[in-house]
Structure 1
């Protein structure tokens, strides 16, 4: 059953909260969604390219979303196609926020458009591509392809699914591109194409270890070597599917010299954007090391499985070339620029994107423990099918020909990933429309007979001035206790109140009914903070990050209530009204509720089960053990939403 119901507010279009488990309409049409109003670039070099766009298929996934963002930061218009098979629409919202932040002092900005579609669906893709046709051909100046399945172990279990999507899908897609004369393609390949090249510790693998025709080359020791065209000991269908795609693209470029294809071979991306607002958030259970580590740190899984401790490495665990995802994204931008500027000519070209240095699994675990101060429980198990021991890149060619080098270290990766420990599980969105109405979002607790409660959440709010996020008990406008978090110019304070805050007859403010609390002693409201409201008989109290901020016995609600989470683009006299076209986002990481209802019978005749003085703060989800002990044996209901908000959105 659902504990919360979702509905929209105001006369506008339906609200669009979205979460990893949400089935709520997103507001984006499919398969050919409404395009953002095309916007010109700022000035200068942007004007020469402002009518063209880069198509990114799979552009809301982990690497795809970071690349889409870096393209926008570099001044490219971006068209994203994604079927949301392993990604979320909230990622698109974050990309837009980060784009707007990057161009906050500019008059103009590049556009980003989104279409929900499977890139293998030729009919739907044809309709989408038709929207970007121009008199001289297509407005798509280049394509970056991320729309592949990528889990090694899953590929062993479901090889046909991988060959159908990764190989057959790419053939269908390239046929469409060829028919439209779009022949500049950046292809997401993988270090998996190298297979089990060597067991020699510390070897840096060059692109010459995997070729699509026989070639002689000179290694770093000055020795002549010969690589036969073909694959060498690739250990899983995922790697073979990537090699097959490369071979097909090589054949295509040979058959038609107008094609310029760059295959980028990745080496274990980790980290997140420096803002902390964009990271790795797959729908399926992660197989990559860093998100798996974070699940252990967050308590979502009990331990990290280390697959194999008998590899020929420094400590027996697998060694990888871990590259920061932002460096990887910039590698795609560099490849696109190199093709566009003809520094990389027609034909098929493969490049390694990596750091050239390797770290073992145990070394990464130790680094994360030192960074976070947390003990990460591990379980050593046997080798995983399809894995190899050592994969470390030689990135020399990318540096020379693409003018690309990594800028971030493993410390940047671990620090940015720890910031993702507080990841978003629910986002409410609001926007002021041109007709003056608003798209707003609200979640209503299904119980209407709550008599007192302790309400806690970890949240942040971003966006233009005039929006207000709220978390409150509600019976009517004269029986309400709330926390209100404003955006923009008012974002340096949080508002606590018991309604009404003014006498309804005289409009004179009621002393002790409202409090404005400065954020000077805390992180900005745009960062994660822990908020808490306690409503008990005769008293309301508010907490910030575990410390009490205010309390009052004035106007304490005495009527049975519901509990509401909401985001509005019109805060009235308190925060003002958002401008037309402006947006805001209310991100929630977790919610905890402890409450009683009029249908329950407390064993305490005074009903003071949750006293304001003795109830501890809740700095992390489900941490308030003392409060749970306090109410043990009484007829209370407790709900903790720590790692998912399916309680909030499922029916």
Structure 2
């Protein structure tokens, strides 16, 4: 059993990861400021697992509170999810993204160092590959970024690699996500973005449930089969299990970068059609200009995750849409009170 501090643990990926960690017998401590999450998610995780969670409401920029939390929890490992995550928003608000994501991570690393904790699983992104030079994307693909969000993740990765060079006893696993979608099979936890969703699946789900009138599809002139962007969508429960595998193998001095994806790409139109089948609802949509920072096609080579972690995705687009629809249908206002 490990004692794990999960920053951003009330968020979409964080909450699902906490379920997997707790079901595997680990003790979890959540640190979250609830800026894009809800305390209700923690209550739902407790209901799913039948176990209590200790949580601290705090900002990732608060080093004093982070250090006190690490000491109080007596944790031996940190999973770092906390940060801003919208590509489009990052283009409009780069200062906020660099402050929260980069400075916030530096603050966490200083707190960990002061508390003699050196085991970290970091939530990175496939955006660090920039415009793909070849597909599928392997971990040795050249790194770059096309937007401030991706650049913030790339800067953090560079920082973590430098830390390991300077202090080789650190054990760091950098997990590069592709596109998390879906929800827990119970329908109790899922993605609940504030305002207009920035990611495709929750946007589609909110149109299906009637919270939004139509979906805006950004770009229909990409060099893809139907002109819309193609992405590697991964079920959030599969992604969460990837973190559990990373925790199980962490400990030896290392700094590893590992893709978490399925290796299969679906277009926006593919997702719309799959969600129509899952919900039995119409999904009205309209095309708009491409968004700054978006790319045409992106999908993973997930072989290294299987070799190193013994992990591979098990759920397909049907399960992703079915579970996301079950969450949205049971929770039409997300974690809000209807």
Which stretches in structure 1 are left out of the alignment for 5+ residues? 1-48, 101-108, 133-138, 211-230, 427-588, 590-642
Residue-by-residue CA offset, 1:271-326 (whole Å, 9 max, x unaligned) = 00111111111234311111000111111111111111111111110000000000
1:290 corresponds, among 185, 201, 217, to 201
Contact 1:250–1:347 (8 Å) recurs in 2: no
Residue-by-residue CA offset, 1:60-116 (whole Å, 9 max, x unaligned) = 00000000111001110000000000011111110000011xxxxxxxx6x521100
Q: 2:250 maps to what in 1? A: 339
- Secondary structure at the counterpart of residue 189 of structure 1: strand
Task: Return the structure number with greater strand share.
Answer: 1
Q: Structure 1 pair 644/337, CA: closer, same or farther in 2 (3 Å)?
A: closer
Asked if 1:130 is matched to 2:71, the reply is: yes
CA distance in 2, matches of 1:161, 1:371: 37
* TM alignment of 1:52-91, pairs within 5 A: 52-91=2-41
Asked if 1:363 is matched to 2:270, the reply is: yes
Q: Across the two proteins, how many residue pairs are aligned to each other? A: 338
Contact 1:310–1:316 (8 Å) recurs in 2: yes
Asked if 1:382 is matched to 2:293, the reply is: no
Q: 1:159 maps to what in 2? A: 94
Q: 2:225 maps to what in 1? A: 314
Q: 1:326 maps to what in 2? A: 237
Runs (4+) off by over 3 Å:
423-426
TM-score by length of 2: 0.96
Give 1:394 shift.
0.4
CA distance in 2, matches of 1:374, 1:125: 45
Asked if 1:113 is matched to 2:76, the reply is: no
Contact 1:254–1:347 (8 Å) recurs in 2: no
Q: 1:98 maps to what in 2? A: 48
Residue-by-residue CA offset, 1:178-236 (whole Å, 9 max, x unaligned) = 111110000000000000023x6xx21000014xxxxxxxxxxxxxxxxxxxx43x210
Which stretches in structure 2 are left out of the alignment for 5+ residues? none
Give 1:425 shift.
6.6
Residue-by-residue CA offset, 1:224-250 (whole Å, 9 max, x unaligned) = xxxxxxx43x21000000000000000
CA distance in 1, matches of 2:7, 2:156: 15
2:113 corresponds, among 174, 178, 184, to 178
More relative contact order, 1 or 2 (CA 8 Å, 6+ apart): 2
- Secondary structure at the counterpart of residue 413 of structure 1: helix
How large is the RMSD of aligned CA atoms in angstroms? 1.6
CA distance in 2, matches of 1:58, 1:260: 20
- Secondary structure at the counterpart of residue 369 of structure 1: helix
Contact 1:61–1:282 (8 Å) recurs in 2: no
Q: 1:205 maps to what in 2? A: 137
TM-score by length of 1: 0.51
CA distance in 1, matches of 2:234, 2:332: 26
* TM alignment of 1:527-546, pairs within 5 A: none
